[in-house]
Amino acid sequence: MKILSLFSVLGLLLTSCTSAENPESAAANKETTASTKPIHVDPLLATGIIETEKPVLLDVRTPGEFATGTIKGSRNIDFHSPDFEEQIAKLDKSKTYLVYCRSGNRSGQSLPMFEKLKLSKLYHLDGGIKAWQGAGNPVE
């Protein structure tokens, strides 16, 4: 019985020693792998988020498309601009963002770039401004 207890204690000690993670390496690992996963929303949810959370609205269409109508208060950063990644890298990471384009294609393609920035919170308007307008929401 004593031998069985001794083996049980040794087994517990060995497993606890091997599964313990170095806190410094754990923090470093989280830092390098952390990213902001986008939250996909439809126009109805986006309306509520805009009213309650007041996110920065990012329209990633071309300036010409932007001029045809946009969600009130949006900022334009052209996805096709050669310095698109440099422009979004300058964003305040502590703010909440809602990104969209015409149909959700370009903004969807931009999501991996936004994820690397480790923003506080990121929303993606699925279906883009077409879905926004299709739901009866206004543009300016």
> CB under 8 Å to 62, separation ≥6 — which residues?
78, 80
Query: Domain-by-domain residue ranges, the chain?
Result: 1-34, 37-134
Residue 68: count other Cβ atoms within 10 Å of its Cβ.
11
Q: Can you name the CATH fold of 37-134?
A: Oxidized Rhodanese; domain 1 (3.40.250)
Q: Which two tokens stand for residue 120?
A: 């506080």
Query: pLDDT 10s digit of each residue in the chain, 140 long?
Result: 444 443 443 343 344 444 444 444 444 444 434 567 999 999 999 999 999 999 999 999 999 999 999 999 999 999 999 999 999 999 999 999 999 999 999 999 999 999 999 999 999 999 999 999 999 999 99
User: What residue has token string 């390496």?
Assistant: 25
Q: Which two tokens stand for residue 46?
A: 């986006």
Closest CA to 71 of 125, 30, 119: 125
Amino acid present at 118: K
Closest CA to 137 of 2, 21, 34, 41: 41
Q: CA–CA separation, 62 vs 75, rounded Å?
A: 11
Q: What sign does the CA torsion over 83, 89, 90, 91 have?
A: positive
Partners of 40 in beta bridges: 124
pTM: 0.75
